[in-house]
Amino acid sequence: MNAIIVSGLLGVIMMFSGIVLKNRSAITNLAAIGLLLLLIANILGTYGICTISINTHNMLRFEKFGMFFNSIAFAATLLYVLLSGRDLERTGVNTGEYYALIFFVLCGVSILSSFNGLLMLFLGIEILSIPLYILTGADKRNLRSNEASLKYFLMGSFSTGIMLMGITLIYGATGYFDLGHSPVVPSTGEQRATFLEVAGILLLFASMCFKVSAAPFHFWTPDVYDGAPSVFTSFMATVVKASGFIAFVRLFDRHGNELGPGPTWSLLLGFVIIATLLVGNITAVFQQSVKRMLAYSSIAQAGFMLFALYGNNDLAKEGILLYSVAYCLATIGIFAILIRMNDYTFDGFNGLAKTQPVLAITNTVFLLSLAGIPLTAGFFAKYYMLASAVKAGASLWLVIVAVIFAAVSVYYYFRVIQAMYFKDGDPATAPIGTGFKAMLILMAALIILFGIFPSMVLGAFYF
């Protein structure tokens, strides 16, 4: 409860901060302090210390899993603001409003991590998406940003329409705005969904796939991520995407077998996972722009995160939390470096190791973590995902295909490392301060720390 209220209030405060504070960096500092407060309020809320408690009539359910994810999302946003706050100020003149929208997105994140029932799921998704449409078009004079914004908006509201139709059909069939209320067959005593409910669940599944950019509903992702201002792409690709997965996992937690008897659900998911991995990895190989490559790589990472849905057990829940941490840290770091580069192509990174050794070494750690190399957090994240699927009885072929695609991903991540270390060039970068370097080193250190002791994240989860 704390997280939802505090993030909403902070959003309103940030909206008015532009009137009081004329200095842009003061607004960034205010946002960082606000995020710290939000994080503390959420941690207090996790241990039952609530400032305000409201009877939500069972529409929200606060449990450890969601609350802990809130902490991860808020901490990642705090790191993001500390790293890229200066670049965010340069996007346009409305710095206070950008932060206000980010806080409203975080309000959506905390609703998505605690919804109980489809009404709150719908509201959470919308509170999350609508500010993002605006942030995508934040660069008002840039045609690419305009285009990305319109595309994101039209696709997003289209998928909302599909989701609402799914919710309505489920309601019509069962009388509840929730999964798991299928009518009981008198002869066998087991629950069996009617045709109307199966159609509804499929529509809901499709629209959730759309929100987390899983194939075959991924087509908007590269264009939107590429066109949006890089600062906001960084936020969209990390915190927002991870929270989409938390909502997905919580929604289909224990449900899904209602689709039909036998392996229907795992067959459907298996198809989506393989399609997502295939599209994301193979297309990423052919990209010339690092930003666009990262957009496709985020589709590929979504394929791995879908294994949490496949596994649907305790291991999967631990895994998706670990994956969120590893993926958010690494992607925020890479984007922070990318924003400072003048040239977004692979060639733009040529010779970075000579001119900016700290950027090069930390970028290498982030890329290795995304590729899932041992000793980085990304390795254990991928390991937990695959282990949960195996534990849930996944076909060995599915796991082998996933590992092969992880190997493919090494190719395009290493192209950046190769450009930085083994090619000559004089990469032009924006001025880079000591604080920025220190933050990058801190994040790289965290990635290695969680790579050696993944139990630190999971220990905090069970504490």
With beta carbons less than 8 A apart as the criterion, state whether 206 and 217 touch. yes
The nearer residue to another protein, 146 or 345, going by C-beta atoms, is 146
For position 119 contacting another protein by CB under 8 A, the verdict is: yes
15 forms part of the interface with another protein (CB under 8 A) = no
Nearer to another protein among residue 227 and residue 280 (C-beta):
227
CA–CA separation, 325 vs 377, rounded Å? 8
Q: Decide if residue 134 touches another protein (CB under 8 A).
A: yes
What track of x and - describes contact with another protein for positions 170 through 209 (by CB under 8 A)? -xx--x-x--------------------------------
Based on CB atoms, which residue is closest to another protein, 146 or 355?
A: 146
Candidates 1-9, 14-22, 162-170, 310-318; binding stretch for another protein (CB under 8 A):
162-170
Query: Least distance in Å: CB of 415 to another protein?
Result: 19
For residue 98, the minimal CB distance to another protein (Å) is 15
Residue 149 interacting with another protein (CB under 8 A): yes
Nearer to another protein, 151 or 354 (CB): 151
CB of 130 to another protein, least distance (A): 6
Decide if residue 150 touches another protein (CB under 8 A): yes
- Residue from 68, 74, 103, 133 that binds another protein (CB under 8 A)? 133
Is-contact 309 379, C-beta < 8 A?
no
Residue 126 sits in the site that holds another protein (CB under 8 A)? yes
Find the radius of gyration of the CA atoms of the chain: 21
Query: Out of 13, 15, 123, 456, which residue is the one contacting another protein (CB under 8 A)?
Result: 123
Tell me: does residue 161 bind another protein (CB under 8 A): yes
> Counting contacts by CB under 8 A, is residue 93 touching another protein?
no
State the angle between helix axes of 377-391 and 357-371 in degrees (0 to 180), rounded to the nearest 10: 10
146 belongs to the binding site for another protein (CB under 8 A): yes
**Of residues 126 and 253, the one with the C-beta less far from another protein:** 126
Compare residues 287 and 376 and give the one whose CB is closer to another protein.
Answer: 287
Q: Judged by CB under 8 A, which of 9, 15, 26, 130 binds another protein?
A: 130
Rule CB under 8 A: say whether 347 interacts with another protein: no
- In the complex, which residues of this chain contact another protein (CB under 8 A)? 119, 122-123, 126, 130, 133-134, 137, 140-141, 143-144, 146-151, 153-154, 157-158, 160-162, 164-165, 167-168, 171-172, 175, 177, 222-223, 226-227
